Amino acid sequence: MQGHTVSGVSLDPQEISLFNQAHLSNIYKNDFRLDIRDRQELSRAFAKIDPEVIIHLAAQPLVRESYKYPIETFETNVIGTLNVLEATRQLTNLKSSLIITTDKVYKNHNHLRGYVETDELGGDDPYSASKAAADIAAQSWIKSFANSPMAIARAGNVIGGGDWAIDRIVPDLVNAYSTGNLPLLRYPEAVRPWQHVLDCLNGYLSLVDLQLSAGATGEWNFGPEIQKRYSVAELVSTFATNWGVDTQPAWIRDEVSQPYEAGYLLLDSSKARSDLHWKDKLGFEETVKWTVDWYTNPEKLSIRSLCEAQINEFTRL
């Protein structure tokens, strides 16, 4: 929609995915389906695309899947990222690359303050540890090889339309409420930096702009304002109200013993706010409402039109 020529490198999409629902294949000049763990294939694809900007999002991004498949999670998130980093070094027209890690890279001390970019990295579950390792690898590439600006973006818990991943809060709520059930919550008291996907992506694009105009590099947090701290239960209640569920609480506590998850996770995004002049445009209530609007789609738009309508509305804010 901004007029760029876009190419993609990914595994095949899941059958039910935003990619298929919104018929996104026709926006791509090149649509490479390959595994980023295959260094040669990836290098060949990058050489064919010859990009000016790379945004590396590919990952095994699910915490609970990482307990089931820890080796594959590390392989994709660490070796895959190393392959991306190395492939960028062969590209002569590359002007910027952005490596997407996560808020979960920080060693979690259940602080009531937000983590800042200089805080220590860590990670208990395999997903967090693998993303922290990918982040450290990218930092090493930034310090060691200076062919073009490379930066790292660490975003908060992203919600919004189009997510169909298993064991994620929003798809779980959609599946439960659309079938007349109440969702099971594993950690209702856990506090997370919820943010709308368009706010997150707006931050990523602002950072790419600063890379292109002024060579910005280093690590950058993107999260909601620090005062906006909401628990899983508050997110679910707001979601349920927007969905029209009248039972309160609109969820059931899952009493089965669950893999560990941190209680408190907040991000301090002062750096992005001051240096990029970025801010989250949608407050918590709007973030949840826009998400529910996407899944309920009251105007029965095509999924592509629904996404474009929300993007257009967002850019007008």
Ligand X SMILES: NC(=O)c1ccc[n+]([C@@H]2O[C@H](COP(=O)([O-])OP(=O)(O)OC[C@H]3O[C@@H](n4cnc5c(N)ncnc54)[C@H](O)[C@@H]3O)[C@@H](O)[C@H]2O)c1
| Contact footprint for ligand X (CB under 6 A) | 10-11, 35-37, 57-61, 76, 80, 100, 102, 131, 155, 157-158, 165
Residue with smaller CB distance to ligand X, 245 or 276: 276
Tokens matching residue 173? 């709520």
Q: Tell me how far apart the alpha carbons of residues 51 and 28 are, in angstroms, rounded to a whole number.
A: 13
Q: Cβ of residue 156: shortest distance to ligand X, in angstroms?
A: 7
Work out how close the CB of 37 gets to ligand X at its nearest, in angstroms, rounded to a whole number: 5
Q: Identify which of residues 138 and 158 has a Cβ nearer to ligand X in the complex.
A: 158
**107/252 with CB nearer ligand X:** 107
Structural contact between residues 154 and 221, judged by C-beta atoms closer than 8 angstroms = yes
In angstroms, give the least distance from the CB of 139 to ligand X. 16
Q: How far apart are CB 66 and ligand X at their closest, in Å?
A: 10
Q: For ligand X, which is the closer residue by CB, 56 or 251?
A: 56
Pairing of strands 194-196, 157-159: parallel
Helix axes 284-296, 169-178, angle to 10 degrees: 50
User: Closest distance between ligand X and the C-beta of residue 148, in Å?
Assistant: 20
Question: Between residues 192 and 245, which has the closer beta carbon with respect to ligand X?
Answer: 192
